[in-house]
Amino acid sequence: MALTGLDIFKLLPKTNCKKCGMPTCLAFAMALAQKRVKLDDCPDVSQEAKEKLAAAAAPPMRKVVFGSGDNQVQIGQETVMFRHEEKFYNPTVLAVTVSDKLTGDDLKKRIESVNSLQFERIGTKIGARAVAVINDSGSPDSFAQAAAAVKDAGDLALILVTQSPEAMAAALAKTKESIPLLASATPDTAEAMAQIAKENGCPLAAQAESIEALSDLTEKIEAQGVEDIVLNLVAPSLRDQLYNLSKMRALALKKVFRPLGYPTISFVTDDSADTQAASAISLICKYSGIVVLDTVEPYALLPMLTAVMNVFADPQKPVQVEPKVYPIGEPNENSPMMFTTNFSLTYYTVESDVEASRIPSYILVVDTEGTSVLTAYSGDKLNEKTVADAMTKHSVEDLVKHRKLIIPGYVAVMSGKLEEATNWEVMVGPRECSMLPKYLQEVWK
């Protein structure tokens, strides 16, 4: 919970010396609460006050990072219970299991199946982002070999799942440079697992069967010097799991209860692909930082990934594409030039219909702050000036030798002013872009 100006004021020297540029300590405290000044601007603040203010300013949920290089992922650092209050920051990581009972070609095929779970949706690459190697065999050697094979495939972040410190140490000996997440320490193995995590600089999941036991466990692990912790609360049912995740989130964010101020991991591994999809989507909504799955069925993964995309989209910021000229196919100087707005859904719908026409074209994307054609026009973000400016900025004159611009049918009303502003001939396209293929084939000359 953020400190109020009065809370901060109590920690200041209260001399009103003005060295910070403020007339009084109270004015400085109020400005600091609003993040308009920095604590360092007061040269006389005590070390004790600095430490108290720094502790209070720490995020209520810690950010945890694992994986390395391009495979690195981060979870946590959330600040609100509900997306509309601000936004959610770090999207749920979907991890898929690889059992260490698999060997040879079976192991290779499973790793390939997991790594291939990658898709594209409205111009964004989405997919599984971690592999969870499971110590089903109970053998440290088998676990180490399977972990090494996954690491060598090198496509995704790694999670090592075993309750045996011996197996964890064996697998880490072959994979520590991948900085895997270690899952999980229990009350019985906390000391040994924390030691392994600390020595190898890896985050550690803490596993317990009640919120109370879990908070005791995280305190114990933190006391051993491991700061990056992930909460693994085992529950008898999905209903209990969702209740516990919501309760832990509220305790961390609303009450700033530090022992629970960490992201979470959930396992959905013992049902059909259909049931895993339904359970995982519930856990993405409430509030699992990582969801571990057994299924490698693309049809089950896609709705989960769509849920992640939607839940973690910034509600105050429409999904946008970069404003610029996009060539579709291999257009030349005689190809059609048309414009649309930078609202992702609008752009990708237009793009797909232009592709369907099989007529190579240019699409000029005008920056309308991520709004659709009609919304942008109504809000005066799309007018003859913004289009003309975009044409100049992106040098459309250099791309085609004709001077014809196709505009969306919904803004036919701007034709006259646009012709005056650009000296280009305006051609009014169809109102619905699904008619673009027919329009381009019949009208474009």
Residues lying near ligand SF4 in the complex (CB under 6 A): 12-13, 15-20, 22, 25, 28, 42, 44
Cβ of residue 158: shortest distance to ligand SF4, in angstroms?
A: 48
Q: What is the DSSP string of 108-152?
A: HHHHHHHHT-EEEETTEEEE--EEEEE-TT--HHHHHHHHHHHHH
25 φ, ψ to 5°?
Answer: -65, -35
DSSP state, 227? -
The neighbour count for residue 368, using CB atoms within 10 Å, is: 27
In this complex, which beta carbon is closest to ligand SF4, that of residue 21 or of residue 225? 21
In this complex, which beta carbon is closest to ligand SF4, that of residue 16 or of residue 306? 16
What stretches of 143-283 adopt beta strand conformation (E)?
Answer: 157-161, 181-185, 204-208, 229-233, 265-268
Cβ of residue 35: shortest distance to ligand SF4, in angstroms?
A: 15
Cβ of residue 34: shortest distance to ligand SF4, in angstroms?
A: 15
d(CA 143, CA 335): 58
Report helix, strand or coil for 343. Answer: strand
In this complex, which beta carbon is closest to ligand SF4, that of residue 46 or of residue 434? 46
In this complex, which beta carbon is closest to ligand SF4, that of residue 16 or of residue 113? 16
> Which residue bears the tokens 């095929």?
109
Cβ-Cβ contacts under 8 Å for 432 (sequence gap 6 or more): 409
In this complex, which beta carbon is closest to ligand SF4, that of residue 13 or of residue 59? 13
In this complex, which beta carbon is closest to ligand SF4, that of residue 35 or of residue 401? 35
Cβ of residue 19: shortest distance to ligand SF4, in angstroms?
A: 4
d(CA 433, CA 352): 9
The stretches of 261-297 forming alpha helices (DSSP H) are: 273-285
Nearest to 176 by CA among 206, 192, 150, 200: 200
Cβ of residue 59: shortest distance to ligand SF4, in angstroms?
A: 25
d(CA 195, CA 217): 14
Evaluate whether 2 touches 27 at the Cβ level (below 8 Å). Answer: no
In this complex, which beta carbon is closest to ligand SF4, that of residue 56 or of residue 192? 56
Cβ of residue 256: shortest distance to ligand SF4, in angstroms?
A: 25
* Amino acid symbol at 150: V
d(CA 432, CA 54): 55
In this complex, which beta carbon is closest to ligand SF4, that of residue 19 or of residue 254? 19
In this complex, which beta carbon is closest to ligand SF4, that of residue 5 or of residue 13? 13
**Region for residue 424 given its phi and psi (left: phi exceeds 0; alpha: psi -120 to 50; beta: otherwise):** beta
Cβ-Cβ contacts under 8 Å for 211 (sequence gap 6 or more): 233, 244, 247, 248, 251, 260
In this complex, which beta carbon is closest to ligand SF4, that of residue 12 or of residue 304? 12
Cβ of residue 8: shortest distance to ligand SF4, in angstroms?
A: 9
Cβ of residue 55: shortest distance to ligand SF4, in angstroms?
A: 19
d(CA 179, CA 197): 10
Cβ of residue 22: shortest distance to ligand SF4, in angstroms?
A: 5
302 φ, ψ to 5°?
Answer: -60, -50
Cβ of residue 20: shortest distance to ligand SF4, in angstroms?
A: 3
